[in-house]
Every structure is written in C-alpha cells, then in structure tokens.
Amino acid sequence: MVKKVLKFGGTSVGTIERIQHVAKIIQKEHSSGNQVIAVVSAMAGKTNELINLSKNISDNFNKRELDVLMSTGEQVTSALLAGALSELEIKAKSWLNWQIPILTEGEHTNARIVNMNIKKIDTYLTEKGVVIIPGFQGISKNADITTIGRGGSDATAVAVAKILKADSCEIYTDVDGVFSTDPNKIPVAKKIDQISYDEMLELSSVGAKVMQSSAVQTAMLYNIPLEVKSTFTNRNGTRIFDEDNIDYSKSVTGVAYSKDDAKVTITGVEDKPGVAANIFEPLNKSQINVDMVIQNISSDQKKTDISFTIKREDLLKTLDILKKNKNIKYENIIHNEKVAKVSIVGAGMVSTPGITYRMFRALSEEKINILAISTSEIKLSVIIDEDNTLNAVKKLHTIFELD
C-alpha cells in the first residue's frame, strides 16, 4: 500500500467532464489499494473571474477579503470532485483547510503553509476514504482564510505530501511532463523521463513552466519524489528527484528560453562597494523583477559596466527610475528592447568538459550574436536578439542530442 498525493491543476478540472475524468483516475489508484489525497485547483479561469469581481470594487481590494473570495474557487472544485467520487461509489470527502486545519504564516494573499493536523486525515485514509483538499489556501493563527500565492496548489500538494509522509506526489497537468524544450514551438522536443530538482528549477524558471518553482524547492528540501504527468493521457510523466539517483547519460537535459525580455546596460559605473545595491534597490521597490545581472570590468579599472535583463513591459519604468536615481554615477544607459534568454540546463554539465565552447560555436555557426552570458552549475544562459530565439533553441536542441 502506497500513500499518494495527487494534485490536479486548473485545466485538469476545468469542466464537469474533466472532473469526472479525474474521479476515474482516483478510482484507479484507490482500487489498486493506494491511499489517495487529492489536492485541487480552482476550475480554469475561475480565480481570474473572482479577482476581476474584486477589481471592479477596488484595485487595492482588502487582502483579507480577497483571500475569502479567492478560496471559494478551490472549494467548488473540491465539492464537485468529492460528489463525482461518491457517484462512483467511492468513499470521499472534501476537507476544507479549516476542517483539517492547514496552518499558514505570513500575510494575506502571500502566506506559506507551516503545519497541518494529520490525525483526522490519517484516520480517514485508514478507513479507505479519499481525501480531497482545496489547494492554494490555509488558515492563519487568527483563524482567517489565507492564500499562498498564484499557482499555490503545487505548494499545497508538496506540503501535504511532506507532512503526511506520502510516498509520492504526482502533479497532474495539461502536458505530458517536462520537455527538453517547448514542444509547441520545437516539434522535436522530447519528454524528459527523469530530472533532478535543480534542473527542474532551472527549466521552469526560464519558460518551461509546468510546476511552481517554490513547490519544487520544498520538494527538494525534504526529498519528496515528484512526478509531473498529463491528466489526459495514460503516458508516464517526468519523475523529479534527487540528482544522486539520476543516471546522466546526457550532459544537457533541456533547452529553455524566455521571450519578451529587455536588456539594460549602464556603462562607466564607479567600481566600488554598494553600487549594485544602489542600482537595484529602487527597482525592487517598484516591483520590477530583475533577471540576469552581468557585471563586466571595463578598460578603465576604476569603472565598470553593469547589464541586466527585465521583462520588456517594465523597460520604460526601469529607465525612468535609473535616470532619477541620484545615488549612482554613470556614463551612459544603453538598452535593447527585443532580446531573449536561451539556456541549456543539465546537472551533468558540470562534469562534461567543453559544453560552453560547443554552445558558443553552435550559435556562431547560426550567425547569432551573443549579447550577454551567465552561467551557474547546471545552467548556461545567453542573451540574444529575440528574432533568433527559435533558431538558437533548435540548433542547441540538436547539437546536444535532445531531438
């Protein structure tokens, strides 16, 4: 007997037919003798619908009440799924977060799960009941409803798996798993059978979003085996676990990319402590998300150039903030508003020599100019002109034998 947490995302429960289909997936697990805890999202589109209602009242809607409002989305799905399981004559019950309870800390709309009471849940599982839990929410110390940020149902699933000591946590979604690159754009993209937490994090943060990053981090921290798989096919998904358990036959696991980026370079910045902080603090305060940061030593040893990338929509605001910033001295601000980031990701990269060189040569063969480079242990990212994105991804996918 295995204890499994199954998480079903918004598209997986987007219609009544799909909820009935999810009930059948659970039925299969249940009749195999597994203990099943299902964590569900709101039906696709529902959370946005609720947020739009609140926005019609105020763009700055009371956050406590926004949580009360939004939490109904997952509550509806939980009730419908429990009802659909009853209809299949399976013992099942929706467990709202206050009924368990699942406890959170932190502010409204951005809390985090810190604990849950497992007693009643474990008893119900022992009695062969299927436990349905609305994701994305919890209860604060003051018994208020809290939510844990968009995509938070993944975090609920991982937290529940951790606290209930589940044997696995399966993330059912609308794709077959994690791919070597975007299958919608690059038809030769291949599903990855197994991947380490680190690689998953790098791939998901650069565009191959199938699972919320902080949930993967939690799974990594507590070593909870994950599997991302499709609700709509019977195929095996992608298993995500500790890299020690993964056999790296390939040095590169996948090629990720993000578009709609912009690059800003500040030249001739004084090279002394505190400069970077002075540049980025006001951007952070204005909620501008800075992605890659590269600092080059310029020819003049007292001065340096700092480049960074941001979302294109933040470009004008960023330039405005930089120009008004009295705390930095610089020569010039240059920007490029149509760039993309292309990354190769692989936990095996560190032990394979020549990866960097092969990447640069491949891009040069395609006559693609590299505007910036950034590396980590398991990722190598370049900034290029956006027009070259697909060419670059295809070429890298081929030369690293992912086709």
Interface ranges with its own copies (CB under 8 A): 16, 19-20, 50, 53-54, 56-58, 61-62, 64-66, 68-69, 71-72, 75-76, 78-80, 82-84, 86-87, 93-94, 96, 98-99, 143-145
Least separation in angstroms between residue 70's CB and its own copies is 8
- For 282-314, letters b (16+ CB in 10 Å) and e give bbeeeebebbbebeeeeeeeebbbbbbbbebeb
Closer to its own copies by Cβ: residue 75 or 217: 75
239 burial type by CB count under 10 A (0-12 exposed, 13-18 middle, 19+ buried):
buried
Cβ(333)–Cβ(322) below 8 Å: yes
Closer to its own copies by Cβ: residue 78 or 218: 78
**Residues 161, 4: Cα–Cα separation, whole Å:** 8
Least separation in angstroms between residue 145's CB and its own copies is 8
Least separation in angstroms between residue 170's CB and its own copies is 23
**Residues 350, 222: Cα–Cα separation, whole Å:** 24
Sign of the CA dihedral running 139, 142, 147, 152: negative
Q: Residue 284 contacts by C-beta under 8 Å, 6 or more apart in sequence?
A: 290
Least separation in angstroms between residue 35's CB and its own copies is 20
Strand ranges (E), 177-253? 194-196, 226-230, 238-241
Least separation in angstroms between residue 115's CB and its own copies is 19
Closer to its own copies by Cβ: residue 71 or 238: 71
Please name the residue that has the structure tokens 């996948």: 254
**Residues 81, 269: Cα–Cα separation, whole Å:** 58
Dmax of the chain from CA atoms? 76
Cβ(107)–Cβ(149) below 8 Å: no
Closer to its own copies by Cβ: residue 87 or 260: 87
Least separation in angstroms between residue 43's CB and its own copies is 9
Task: Return the number of other C-beta atoms located less than 10 Å from residue 2's C-beta.
Answer: 12
**One-letter identity of residue 32:** S
CA–CA–CA angle 349, 171, 102 (5° rounding): 115
**One-letter identity of residue 225:** P
Q: Between β-strands 35-40 and 3-8, what pairing exists: parallel, antiparallel or unpaired?
A: parallel
Least separation in angstroms between residue 311's CB and its own copies is 29
Least separation in angstroms between residue 241's CB and its own copies is 35
Least separation in angstroms between residue 72's CB and its own copies is 4
Least separation in angstroms between residue 247's CB and its own copies is 44
Closer to its own copies by Cβ: residue 100 or 371: 100
Closer to its own copies by Cβ: residue 69 or 189: 69
Strand ranges (E), 117-253? 130-134, 137-139, 145-147, 168-173, 194-196, 226-230, 238-241
Closer to its own copies by Cβ: residue 140 or 173: 140
Closer to its own copies by Cβ: residue 53 or 350: 53
Q: What DSSP state is assigned to residue 131? A: E
CA–CA–CA angle 122, 29, 88 (5° rounding): 95
Closer to its own copies by Cβ: residue 57 or 334: 57
Closer to its own copies by Cβ: residue 84 or 186: 84
Least separation in angstroms between residue 266's CB and its own copies is 41
Closer to its own copies by Cβ: residue 78 or 251: 78
